[in-house]
Chain A
Amino acid sequence: MAKIELQNISKTYPREAKPAVQDLTLHIPDGQFVVLLGPSGCGKSTTLRMIAGLEEPDSGEIKIGELRVNGVPPQRRDTAFVFQNYALYPHMTVAQNIGFPLKMRGLSAQAIRQRAEETGRVLGLEALLDRYPGQLSGGERQRVALGRAIVRDPAVFLFDEPLSNLDAQLRGDMRVELVHLQRRLRATFVFVTHDQVEAMTLADVIAVMSTGVLQQLGTPEQIYQQPVNLFVAGFIGSPRMNFIEGNLIAQDGMTFLKSDLLELPVRKCLPDLAANPQARIILGFRPEDAQLTPTGEVELKLELIEALGSQKFIYGRTSQGQQLVVGVDPKSHLAVGDVVNLTIPPDGMHFFDAETGTRLSRHQA
């Protein structure tokens, strides 16, 4: 059980131009389930591997517990790592795989077998202990990899997209199981994924990364409701948040967001533009936050309807050509070609600086 502190970590791979991780500072309290989330290639694995000691950062400090671990080889960092492809030793049985970390610590064969059996029981692998990895299904291999991690009771658990090779059903089950496991062990889990649904279901705290830079650290709710910049706003949520770029102008005692494609009245939820009232801004709203009302200010002509069962999304264009996506009641009867009116409630509006992409806080009017 230990906290993890990353302080100004940077890493550029040899012969690469761009850094894989850049000035990353991340404090993970003891016993938390933290998910590193971001598109593929954004440096999640690199971060995880630096915690494990499989890569060394070029600069910055890594602490596990109270111990500075820079330069400490992986063998001594006391982490467990679950790989995407499980990395089970193909020439060892399940019991030997699970027992391998204990063997490396010099436990007696008897003790190893006993603890491998215990762990196997916890994970429902009793019947498979003497099989080889080649004889197991994907889900079973996943469990063995998990068993090899928990058998030695490490300081922290590191997971690199461990569920991405499982089918959807199994992935769902494993998520639940992982959450239970973490609650029971009360250990620190750092879990890497590019799947936002996975991140939302698992995490106490999500760290969103992009191009090697930490974008936002927060609970799933914070990340969803108050994305700090355009990247996070666009990355979280499916379908993507709608973005409209424009200027704020005052007219007839009302404030409008005026873009080339749309003119939208905005009320009571203006961003704080004290610094530069002329700046171009981006308004974002989530498809599911917009509401269809006959009196809505925006007219949308439907071009595509996506019915997902419990949800329904309509894709359309305003008369000036702005494309928008809106979530509607799944039972609603709409057809392509229909024209609907929609309104965006003030709460659902997010404002971003068009230049920097950062969120503009609202000023209470």
Chain B
Amino acid sequence: MSALTTKETTSSTVSWLRSPQVKAMWLTLIAMLAILVITFPFVWILLSSLRSVENFLSLDLRDALPRSLDFTSYRLALQRSDLFLWMGNSLFVAVLTTCLSLLVSAPAAFALTRLRFRGKDAASIILVLSYAVPSIMLAIPLLVLLVKMRLNNSFIGLILVHATFTIPFTSWILQDFYRSIPTDLEEAGYIDGASLVRVLWHIILPLSIPGLLAAGAYSFILSWNEFLFALILLNSYDSFTAPVGVHAYFTARGADESMWAQLMAASVIVSLPSVLLFAYFQRYLIAGFLKGAVKG
């Protein structure tokens, strides 16, 4: 504080450029540039998808930006491919994965943050470790096993597999959320005569709705975006999820460069649910990290 003032008065030309507001403006400008660079790949598919199909492959740099909003690419992508069907499949898988993982991770997260019982440490370790196992290593044995159980090419198999990485993630977010609910409330519930089940139902559940929504959103995003397992486990055109469908549709016509416009539109469509959910719920994720949920 004192150092700050002396420093500024000694450099007798106290320029207005050094004032906090101006500094903040400069920094904001720099930040905007940095963000533009970072978001550029996404911004670029968005811009490209809105270009008119006629000059899409124009080599003139002036045609790189859309002149007006042209949704032809979207129409073509939706009409010619089965994007609607695949998105429906993705929706089905992502919603059920989310329900399943919330259903099992909400009670688990509660028990891990609130109850004293033997086996708790082991359960936490299993949750953490299962998140650390790389998908590609699991992919092959899971495929073989699911084939044996006749669950390959079925959504049930894919949902179960997606649950292996959504459950640890939702448990983590929910544990963090439950820690923010004062223990007093449950204890008051017990004192007031409620059993554990009723405390869960009447007190914890209503209070954890925001946490459940956030955890659900993330689980949805993870499942919706997932590519590898969907690629390996689903092998009929009708059962593809959106990412796999897009991949299949465009690799089948790989040489045809007029497909680029459609690919851009399809990419935007597939990204939209995840990006919108993330935009709404990102503060929960960041808040979780900021509260020190991640410590070496």
Chain A bound to chain B: yes
A residues apposed to B, CB below 8 Å: 14, 52-54, 73-75, 79-81, 83, 85, 87-91, 100-101, 104-105, 148, 152
In the complex, what residues of A have CB within 8 A of residue B189's CB? Answer: 89, 100
In the complex, what residues of B have CB within 8 A of residue A91's CB? Answer: 206-207
Produce 1/0 per residue, B143-168, CB < 8 A to A: 00000000000000000000000000
**Interface residue? B188 (CB, 8 A):** yes
- A87-B188 contact given A101-B193, A104-B194, CB 8 Å threshold: yes
- A90-B207 contact given A52-B191, A74-B187, A101-B192, CB 8 Å threshold: yes
Produce 1/0 per residue, B177-207, CB < 8 A to A: 0000010110111111111001000110011
Task: Enumerate 5 A-B pairs (CB-CB under 8 Å) in ascending A order.
Answer: A75-B191, A75-B194, A79-B191, A83-B187, A85-B184
| Separation of A14 and B117 alpha carbons in the complex (Å) | 12
- A73-B190 contact given A91-B206, A91-B207, CB 8 Å threshold: yes
Residue of B whose beta carbon sits closest to that of A76? B193
- Expressed in whole angstroms, the minimum distance between the Cβ of A174 and any Cβ of chain B is 19
In the complex, what residues of A have CB within 8 A of residue B116's CB? Answer: 14
Instruction: Check A89–B190 contact: CB distance below 8 A.
Output: no
Cross-chain contact of B182 among A53, A73, A87 (Cβ < 8 A):
A87
Cross-chain contact of A81 among B185, B191, B207 (Cβ < 8 A):
B191
Residue of A whose beta carbon sits closest to that of B198? A104
Grouping DSSP codes into helix (H, G, I), strand (E, B) and loop, the A interface class, with mixed when no group exceeds half, is loop
In the complex, what residues of A have CB within 8 A of residue B194's CB? Answer: 75, 100, 104
Instruction: Check A105–B193 contact: CB distance below 8 A.
Output: yes
Cross-chain contact of B188 among A14, A73, A81 (Cβ < 8 A):
A81
Cross-chain contact of B191 among A74, A85, A105 (Cβ < 8 A):
A74
In the complex, what residues of B have CB within 8 A of residue A100's CB? Answer: 189, 192, 194, 202
| Separation of A90 and B184 alpha carbons in the complex (Å) | 12
Instruction: Check A87–B190 contact: CB distance below 8 A.
Output: no
| Separation of A87 and B190 alpha carbons in the complex (Å) | 12
Q: A80-B191, A90-B207 are in contact. List 13 more A-B contacts (CB 8 A).
A: A73-B190, A74-B187, A75-B191, A79-B191, A81-B187, A83-B184, A85-B182, A85-B184, A91-B207, A100-B194, A100-B202, A101-B192, A104-B192
Instruction: Check A75–B187 contact: CB distance below 8 A.
Output: no
Instruction: Check A74–B190 contact: CB distance below 8 A.
Output: yes
- Expressed in whole angstroms, the minimum distance between the Cβ of A58 and any Cβ of chain B is 14
Instruction: Check A89–B195 contact: CB distance below 8 A.
Output: no
- A75-B184 contact given A91-B207, A104-B198, CB 8 Å threshold: no
